[in-house]
Amino acid sequence: MTIIIFLLFFIVFEIFESSWQKADSFYEVINNNYKIYKKNLFFYFLLNPTFIYSLFLSFYLNNFGFWMSSIIVIKFADISFRLYLMQKITKNESFKNIIPIDITMNIYIRYINVAVYPLCFIFSLANL
């Protein structure tokens, strides 16, 4: 029963993250991130709860297997990459040479994380 509650929290946190970043294109997603980043960096990290939650689950469940570790590494890389892009914006540099194409964010791309990360979490439980 506890695992189901953990999974539901994971899904809710993923939906929350996708919702506050919601935009029609990738550049707009970065712009939404930048607005929060510009206000307060600590608040920005709080708006990425699944990274913090994944760390909590790893320690609480003593689960440092491949699937759980990959969730943490991908989340860390994602946040780091967005912070890198936002630093470019802060310095008035263009990040368009890194990402030359503005990707349209349809509903499937926007919410794929709601399926992928909880599934990885379920796979990680097989090792327990």
The two tokens of residue 49 are: 């709860």
Q: Is 16 within 8 Å of 113 (Cβ atoms)?
A: no
Percentage with pLDDT > 90 across the chain: 90
Place of tokens 């470019």: 88
Mean pLDDT estimate for the chain = 94
The two tokens of residue 104 are: 């349209």
Render pLDDT for 25-42 as a digit per residue (tens, 0 to 9): 999 999 999 999 999 999
Does the pLDDT value for residue 66 go beyond 90?
yes
Render pLDDT for 13-29 as a digit per residue (tens, 0 to 9): 999 999 999 999 999 99
Q: What is the secondary structure of 92-110 as a DSSP string?
A: T---TTTS-S--B--HHHH
